[in-house]
Amino acid sequence: MGVRIVEATPERVVAELVVRPDLCTVGSILHGGAYMAFADTLGAVGTILNMPQGKRTTTTDSSTKLMGVARLNTTVVGESLPLHRGKTTMVWQTTVKSAEGKLCAVVTQTQLVLDA
C-alpha cells in the first residue's frame, strides 16, 4: 500500500501515505477504503508492539468517520493511539490529516490478540 512508518512505539504509531492515483476515487481524492486500510495498518502495528511474543492479531471491527479530503499527489499523516491495551483485545484510534493539517478521517478499531 505504500505506508511509511515514521514512529512506532507501544504508545503511538505515526505514518505517512502518498495519495497516488490507484488509491483515489472520483475527483482525484483519497478513497474511503484507503483511509480505512491505512489506519488499520497503524492499529495493527501498535497492537504487535504491545502483545507478547508468539501471538498474532486480527481486526475484529472498525469504525470510520470521513470528514475531509486528501488530494492526489499529496501526503496524508496518520497517528494511532491506544484507547485500550488488554490481554485479548486492543482498541486503537487513528486520526488521518491532510498535508495542510486538516482532519480527514478518524478510525477506531478493535484488534483481537490470538495464539499463534
Q: What is the pLDDT of residues 91-105, one digit of tens each?
A: 999 999 999 999 999
pLDDT given at position 100: 94
Q: Is the pLDDT of residue 116 over 90?
A: no
Q: Which three cell numbers stand for residue 70?
A: 486528501
CA distances from 100 to 26, 37, 70, 77 (A): 21, 21, 9, 10
Rounded to an integer, what distance in angstroms lies between the CA atom of residue 110 and that of residue 116? 18
- Domains along the chain with CATH numbers: 4-115 (3.10.129.10)
Rg for the chain, CA atoms, rounded: 14
pLDDT given at position 111: 98
* pTM exceeding 0.75: yes
- DSSP H helices, 1-116, are 32-50
Q: What is the pLDDT of residues 33-57, one digit of tens each?
A: 999 999 999 999 999 999 999 999 9
Q: Which residue from 112, 116, 48, 102 is spatially nearest to 80, judged by alpha carbons? A: 48
